[in-house]
């Protein structure tokens, strides 16, 4: 097999890994909805605890546990990982709460906004170069959010909180530059004591859902760790093989699925204001994606 053929094969495998990751992220509302009987804080605590257990098993199985000590030997890494743990916990809680409060549509809006917010962080914090289309895209997305704020007389805080927490989390990850699975293990490790204290508290108070509602709920709470780490593993495999230009397109699969679930399965309202708001944000995404230097196919062949 030629080098070019091997390269294309690797990219195809990477695309499938990425699609699987974003598909699973897109249908996660179904998982959290099935846990609607459980308070969001308790779901979050179990998600943190079982994610930690699951990724630690993976690290031990792969013989990569020694890398953890090396990462923690750097003081800047420890601060960044701790901050990352707090940010991703806030993001997880907001998303779980939104799903179980019938705000999946607004949550999907947040993940449409996120890439454009990430661009803004790159410009403002990392001093990356901007161009005309980046600025136009950001202004269009901002106007799209303003449409909903004006229509409902309040800021769509769920969408903005999801975009901001995940955007800042991505910034921290970029600055710390730690492997995704090791990063998740350490981030959950830093916030796990808080999660365990909360779980101990609800157990002592006799209001714990774990083992008291049904076996299905108990196993699903334990499975939250797998549901969290598995798409991250697939994404990591995809990111190693696929140009970011392609990932930039695939990433919109997740909020699109969530939006579809919110409107057609959960019967959440999708008004004319939503259509205008989402339309402006979709236009912003399209302008940003198609204005990037070196389009998708070009980058695929440049990678060979």
pLDDT score at 61:
87
pLDDT score at 147:
85
Is residue 104 within 8 Å of residue 268, measured between CB atoms? yes
The Cα 36–Cα 104 span in angstroms is 13
Residue 172: pLDDT over 90: no
pLDDT score at 137:
81
The Cα 297–Cα 304 span in angstroms is 12
User: How does pLDDT run across 55-114, given as a tens digit for each residue?
Assistant: 999 888 888 878 888 888 888 888 999 999 999 999 999 999 999 999 999 999 988 888
Q: Which of 199, 285, 206 is nearest to 249 (CA)?
A: 285
pLDDT score at 93:
96
Top mean pLDDT of 8-17, 123-132, 171-180, 276-285 is at 276-285
Query: Mean of the pLDDT values across residues 182-205?
Result: 93
pLDDT score at 302:
39
User: How does pLDDT run across 242-262, given as a tens digit for each residue?
Assistant: 765 566 668 888 999 999 999
Give the sign of the dihedral formed by CA 199, CA 203, CA 209, CA 212: positive
The Cα 15–Cα 21 span in angstroms is 10
pLDDT score at 235:
82
Q: Mean pLDDT over all residues of the chain?
A: 84
% of residues, the chain, pLDDT over 70: 89
Among 5-14, 29-38, 115-124, which stretch is predicted with the lowest mean pLDDT? 5-14
Q: Which of 14, 43, 19, 15 is nearest to 213 (CA)?
A: 43
pLDDT score at 297:
38
pLDDT score at 299:
40
Which pTM value belongs to this model? 0.86
């Amino acid at each position: 097999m030629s080098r070019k053929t091997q390269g294309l094969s690797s990219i195809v495998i990477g695309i499938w890994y990425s699609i699987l990751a974003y598909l699973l992220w897109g249908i996660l509302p179904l998982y959290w909805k099935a846990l609607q009987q459980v308070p969001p804080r308790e779901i979050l605590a179990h998600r943190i605890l079982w994610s930690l257990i699951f990724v630690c098993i993976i690290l031990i199985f792969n013989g990569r546990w020694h890398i953890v000590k090396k990462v923690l030997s750097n003081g800047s890494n420890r601060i960044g990982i701790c901050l990352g743990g707090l940010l991703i916990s806030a993001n997880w809680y907001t998303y779980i709460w939104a799903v179980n409060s019938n705000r999946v549509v607004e949550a999907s809006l947040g993940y449409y906004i996120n890439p454009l917010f990430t661009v803004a962080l790159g410009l403002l914090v990392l001093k990356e170069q901007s161009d005309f289309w980046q600025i136009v895209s950001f202004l269009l997305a901002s106007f799209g959010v303003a449409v909903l704020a004006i229509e409902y007389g309040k800021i769509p805080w769920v969408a903005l909180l999801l975009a901001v927490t995940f955007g800042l989390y991505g910034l921290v990850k970029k600055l710390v530059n730690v492997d995704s699975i090791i990063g998740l293990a350490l981030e959950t490790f830093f916030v796990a004591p808080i999660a365990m204290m909360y779980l101990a508290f609800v157990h002592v108070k006799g209001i714990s859902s774990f083992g008291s509602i049904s076996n299905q709920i108990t196993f699903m709470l334990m499975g939250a760790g797998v549901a969290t780490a598995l798409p991250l593993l697939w994404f990591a495999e995809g990111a190693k093989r696929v140009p970011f230009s392609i990932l930039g397109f695939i990433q919109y699969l997740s909020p699109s699925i969530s939006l579809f679930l919110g409107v057609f399965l959960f019967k959440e309202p999708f008004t004319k204001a939503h259509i205008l708001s989402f339309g402006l944000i979709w236009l912003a995404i399209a302008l940003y994606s198609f204005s990037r230097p070196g389009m998708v196919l070009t980058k695929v062949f440049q990678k060979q």
